[in-house]
A and B are shown apart, each in its own frame.
Chain A
Amino acid sequence: MSLSGNIASLTQYAADLRRLPTVAAQRIATEAAVDLTTRLKATFAAGTDAYGGAWTPGADGKRVTLRKSGGLADGLFFVAIGTRIRMRLGVPWAKYQIGRRPVAPKQGAALPTDWVLSLKRIAVEVCKAELGR
């Protein structure tokens, strides 16, 4: 990725760059929340955790879908609050079900490779957009 421009205008805009850390973090969080929600939904649909490991089967040994009413799947999403990205659970029973059959990494654990690649792409795009104003 690259930026280009006339040195006179670049010198002028350099003064605005100091606001970049906060603005970029908020934009990255906002765009990452949308992207990670898509990944969350796909993970849930596949019945796996964020690393691709299959969920624990039900008591009868069969694959579990967690799709009885659809409320659990519909209510899962990421939301950006400032520079933070938070996973929200839409229904009261989600904490128990998702606790047993996770769709996101454990808090503090290493991020899945596809998450890292996606977040890197978003970070570069946001930095380029902000630096390129």
Chain B
Amino acid sequence: MSQLYTLNVDCSAVAPFVAKVERLLESVREVFGEGASVEIGFDAKITDREGELVVEPLCTGLEVTR
């Protein structure tokens, strides 16, 4: 069985996003304490580069409720 087209999904940009979320959660915990609830808004940016589909999540907002 032959093939003609290949697309690789590259989520390496997710790691910096995760690190940001971790730091964000840590900061929120320090400021608001363990009882706080958070809502994080996010979106994703897709870039295609010569057979690579680069997925980059983006934070779009943060809401903290005590």
Contact = CB atoms under 8 A, between A and B. Distances in A.
Q: Do chains A and B stick together as partners?
A: yes
Given A7-B32, A86-B3, A127 B37 contact: no
Interface in A88-133: 88-90, 92, 94-95, 98-99, 102, 104-105, 107-108, 110-111, 116, 119-120, 123-124, 127-128, 131
Contacts, number: 145
Interface residues of A, number: 50
Contact of B1 (A3, A10, A89, A127): A89
Interface in B1-23: 1-12, 14-15, 18, 21-22
Given A5-B38, A17-B22, A107-B51, A84 B9 contact: yes
Contacts of B25: 7, 10-11, 14
Contacts of B21: 14, 17, 131
9 contacts: A1-B42, A4-B39, A8-B35, A18-B15, A18-B18, A20-B11, A88-B2, A111-B48, A120-B46
Interface of A: 1-8, 10-11, 14, 17-18, 20-22, 24-26, 28-29, 32, 83-90, 92, 94-95, 98-99, 102, 104-105, 107-108, 110-111, 116, 119-120, 123-124, 127-128, 131
